Amino acid sequence: MLKNIGGITRECYPLTPAQLVHIYTLKYSPTQEIVNIGTGQYLQTKLNVAALREALNRAVERCESMRMRIWKDPQTGEMWQYIEPYQNEFFEYYDFSEWQEDKVTEVLTKWTSQPFDTFGGKLSRIVIVSLPNGYNGYYFNVHHACMDSGSVIAFAKDVMEIYSSLLYGMPYPKPMTSYIDSIKKDFEYEGSRKQKRDEEFWHKQLELPEPIYTDYRGKKKLLEFREQSGNPEQRWGMLTSSNGDGATITYELDVDSTNKILDFAHEHDLPVSAVILHAIRTVLSKFNDNETDVTIRDFVSRRSTVLNKKCGGVRMHCFPLRTIMPLDTTVLDSMNIIKKAQEELFIHADYSTLKYMAETRERYGAAPGSSYHSMNFTYQPATLNSVVPYLKDIGFKSRWYSSGKQPQPMYITAMHRPGDGGLNFFFGYQKDCATPEEIEFLYYFTGRVLFRSIENPDKTIKDIIDMT
């Protein structure tokens, strides 16, 4: 639809359900930086600032979503998005090579806490930087309604490939795909046969009896919620933060232990995510009086087609992964049940996250803002050097910087480290909802359950709970 924005006629499109999740987050957050994603991509090679600046410009030109803007119609309040035409940009350069690493991180974290004006202009910031120990690259801060982690990695891949092409004569990468084509497909989903199938699936989930909230700090939290509401039968929880203040604690799992998980998953034809989710689920069960009905919120990238893999933008949806298992279920059966539940969730993940949240609350009469899960999980298998093979021979590091705010009370991301491939577990948490000590306890306990399970796949969940 054509709109006149600031005297210029723009082709505008509505926001997608995936974008609206972040607008929803903003609506209930006192601060705007809660939707920022700060990252850095660094190579341990000599820096050619001019070539990197050129590569970044070409990458922005090729990536429509990097030029996406959101506009709110002052008359109607409706939100629209459009693509700003490409204009050459002069990216700043900061030389931190003589600084202490932690001081640099402090600066980049501070940059990440600078909010974007969601409805007013550019939704990203790129700065070329030199770090200590010979690492050079770029820092990137982007609004979550503009990109998700999948597109941050796809964009970084494009930048690195263009840079290598300019400097070392590597093949110039194939073009990115069109973000607009991708969102047009999303809009075609409305009223389609696929939407009907997805709706049937999710409505069938709502025919089940009400789920029950399981907190990572134990049953006491649900009892507190019940006391607050005066309803002793209440089954939902309400994790809230007054200010969204948050932090991320990163735990690095060593390579040998990571390989144990990968080998086990491969041997039993299981996705790695199902193995980790089994551990998180078992911990939640144990901490909640051996609860057999556990819900964890799972995030889906929705990037299966070439169009969606290379279009940038934000496509992530999230849904509750609910599993009901008796305690005599074996570890292997538990993982296979999770695998199947996750496959179904993935297949039906085009359904609107916000719509399903609203339908769930309506179905069970739960309060606005309530949920049945205390934890969110995502597994990110791709790292930049797994998708740009020649980076394997170059020192490379990728960093994620916190904005100091967290949209979720507790969000675990499992991601492979560039370099040795070991697993990093990022525990993003709101400070009102957990302490670093509680996170540490949770991490080590989850690890214990994970490795006891792998070593004893024929034992039952109850056996594992008793062993840990």
CB-nearer residue toward another protein: 307 or 332? 307
Runs of H (alpha helix) within 301-351: 306-309, 331-347
For the bound state, the minimum distance from the C-beta of residue 428 to another protein, rounded and expressed in Å, comes to 23
Provide, rounded to whole angstroms, the least separation between the CB of residue 215 and another protein.
30
Minimum CB separation of residue 347 from another protein in Å reads: 6
Q: Please, which residue, 310 or 397, has the CB nearer to another protein? A: 310
Dihedral over alpha carbons 340, 443, 453, 413 (to 10 degrees): 30
Give φ, ψ of 67 to 5 degrees. Answer: -110, 15
Residue 213 or 379 with smaller CB distance to another protein? 379
The amino acid present at 397, given as its one-letter code, is: K
Nearer of residues 49 and 306 to another protein, judged by Cβ: 306
Tell me the H-state helices in 268-398: 272-287, 306-309, 331-347, 353-364, 384-387
Nearer residue to another protein within complex by CB, 328 or 343:
343
Of 300, 293, 351, 279, whose CA–CA distance to 323 is shortest? 293
**Helix H or strand E segment including 448:** helix 436-455
CB of 177 to another protein, least distance (A): 10
Shortest distance (Å) from residue 26 CB to another protein: 29
Can you point out the beta strands (E) in 226-282?
246-252
Specify the residue, 305 or 435, whose C-beta has the smaller distance to another protein.
Answer: 305
SS3 call for 164: helix
Q: Report which residue type is found at 236.
A: W
Q: What's the Cα-to-Cα distance from 274 to each of 68, 240, 242, 353, rounded to whole Å?
A: 35, 28, 33, 21
Residue 302 Cβ, how far from another protein at the closest point, in Å? 9
- Residues forming contacts to another protein in the complex (CB under 8 A) are 174, 193-194, 271, 304-307, 343, 346-347, 381
